[in-house]
Amino acid sequence: MKKRMLFLFCTLLWSTFSIAQNYYTIMVGTFLDAKSQDFDPIRPLGLVYAFPSNGNLSQVYLGGFDDKSEADKVAKSLKERGYANASVQERRLSEGKTVTVIQMATRDVKKPIEWEKFEEIGNLYAILNGDRAKIMTGIFSDVNSAKQSLSKIRNSGYSDAFVKNVNSNLLVKVGEFETGLKKPLIPLSFDQQPSQQNSRIVTQPRTRDDIPSSFDNSGLTARSPLAQQTNNVNIPDAATSKKMSLPDIRTKVKRRSVLELQKVLKAEKAYTSSLDGYYGKGTESAYNEVIASNRELQKYAHLAETLESPTQTGAGNRLQTAINDLPFDPSAPVVIESTQSAIGKAYQAYLLYTTLGAGNEVNSLMNDAIKEAYRGKKLQNQPPFDFNATYAYQDLTQLIQHLFYIHAAPGNTYAVPCWLYDRHPRETATAQASFAGYDNNDLKLQACDQFLDWPEIKTLQAIAADLNADSKINTGRLSADASKRAHLFTSPKSLSATELKTIEEWNTDLWNNLNAWSSRDPIHQRVVVALKVTYFQSQVRLEDYFMNQGFSADEAKGLSLATLETLVGYYLDRFV
């Protein structure tokens, strides 16, 4: 009896401790097609783990720490290794729940862990604390269920295994990525330092058979002398580009956006439940009812299907159009070949590499492009590479990395095209990771309409565009907003305190002024009701998208408001 009371006391003590204590982990970044071996260079710093996100994106984390100062030291070390966006995040243990597991062993993460043996037990979890990992199995429905498995686990070689209750937010699910038991054929290296990148490489030009297997030129075609030896390939239709699926809305997260949506739905007599800020079946049903019955919303939903988006970055520029359409338009390479600008030379080098492989002409074009892009330019910050060095391009990763640097050069007006991410996910991920911490506003990304296919956002933009006071559309402003939205889509970090304050003030001013405007006329009121329904529904959906990327609810709120500003801010400027 005394032993049982001692066990229960220890369990209660652990649960209380785990709820009260702060716990920190390090977000390494967001990566495309992340594989275990990509992160071997940083494993000595702690256990690397990942959460799958939208599509083939993953949020990668490292370690767990009770002491924030220790976490800060490791984050600093990661930044020195090239992970510019490494940041410490707090795990809110108050948001977790108590679960039952069996702890089998404690291991030093700096040494090889016998994952193959542990995997024989079943589902694996770990609790991380600095360079130590507590290896566990579970999760069990209760303590008694765990005890039924305890003897079998002890007989398997873990004689010291014991049952314990832990906070679920401390647990890291251990799978293929964490164990690293399966290695990818083509590992990525994110820890290459600028000093290594700047060294001259003297090699012989490669033949076509020597092209790295990681590059993908499927779908690329050209009719110019630059690519006379291009294989015959099928040219995909631009309309068949991958579309992002609509994220599910969380029903158990209380938030202001849902509360505001519920208010307008209640005013429309569609929502009859309490204003609780939870997006439950009542809110969903009321939203669908209003969408189906509100004439203003029906009108703008129909209008949205006929509108063409003017937000394409660089729209109207012949070279930008050729860059955007390179995989789809046989005449695009001819346009690119005809220009002697820095960005034109860089894409000429890309075409040569992806059709003929590495060679002196590729090196010459890229080195000329880099020098032209940076020569005589006033730099606020030193770029993360030496633009005065001479490079030899023996793999597509370095070429695309430097292509990004040219796009990020001071005064650049050309945007990185969407197809580059689709065709070369590994190389573009490396490129962005290599200078993600570089404070630079010149890098422009083509708006790939990641959010614009969502029904609520399409209707929202149609309403906002109808309220625009400009007689002529400011395509430059829309292009800048589109590029900003593309950055937010792949952002590895939340808004800063200053950015968050600014966007919240924008949101408050917008609705204060719209509400005042709507009170003057019944027609205005009907339009604003339709705007509110789509705006707050879009905000909810965007928050879930960002939470799917690993951000907290508060962080997702800021990112969603910033995204909404890029979608409707220009059209609604007169209300701010």
State the pLDDT at residue 308: 56
State the pLDDT at residue 122: 79
pLDDT over 70 for what percent of the chain? 78
Task: Tell me the mean pLDDT in the region 201-207.
Answer: 32
State the pLDDT at residue 354: 87
Per DSSP, the three-state class of 496 is: coil
Choose among 300, 298, 339: nearest CA to 318.
339
Q: How confident is the model at residue 568 (pLDDT cuts 50, 70, 90)?
A: very high
pLDDT digits (tens, 9 = 90+) for 382-396: 777 788 889 999 889
* Model confidence, pTM: 0.49
- Give the residue, 339 or 210, on which the prediction is more confident: 339
- Give the residue, 14 or 259, on which the prediction is more confident: 259
Lowest model confidence (mean pLDDT) among 45-49, 241-245, 450-454 = 241-245
State the pLDDT at residue 288: 95
State the pLDDT at residue 121: 80
8 Å CB contact between 99 and 168:
yes
- Give the residue, 568 or 432, on which the prediction is more confident: 568
Does pLDDT of 113 surpass 60?
yes
Task: Tell me the mean pLDDT in the region 423-433.
Answer: 77
- Give the residue, 274 or 175, on which the prediction is more confident: 274
Round to whole Å and give the CA distance between 538 and 261: 10
Per DSSP, the three-state class of 81 is: coil
Choose among 226, 242, 409, 243: nearest CA to 332.
226
Does pLDDT of 476 surpass 80?
no
Residue with tokens 């209640």: 266
pLDDT digits (tens, 9 = 90+) for 256-311: 999 999 999 999 999 999 999 999 999 999 999 999 999 999 999 988 877 655 44
State the pLDDT at residue 460: 95
Q: Look over the chain and give the mean of its residue pLDDT values, rounded to a whole number.
A: 77
Q: What six digits make up the tokens of 208? A: 């076509």
Q: How confident is the model at residue 161 (pLDDT cuts 50, 70, 90)?
A: confident
H or E stretch covering 508: helix 497-518
Q: How confident is the model at residue 41 (pLDDT cuts 50, 70, 90)?
A: confident
- Give the residue, 405 or 443, on which the prediction is more confident: 405
Task: Tell me the mean pLDDT in the region 71-86.
Answer: 82
Does pLDDT of 153 surpass 90?
no
For residue 157, the 8-state DSSP code is: T
Does pLDDT of 61 surpass 70?
yes
Round to whole Å and give the CA distance between 576 and 574: 6
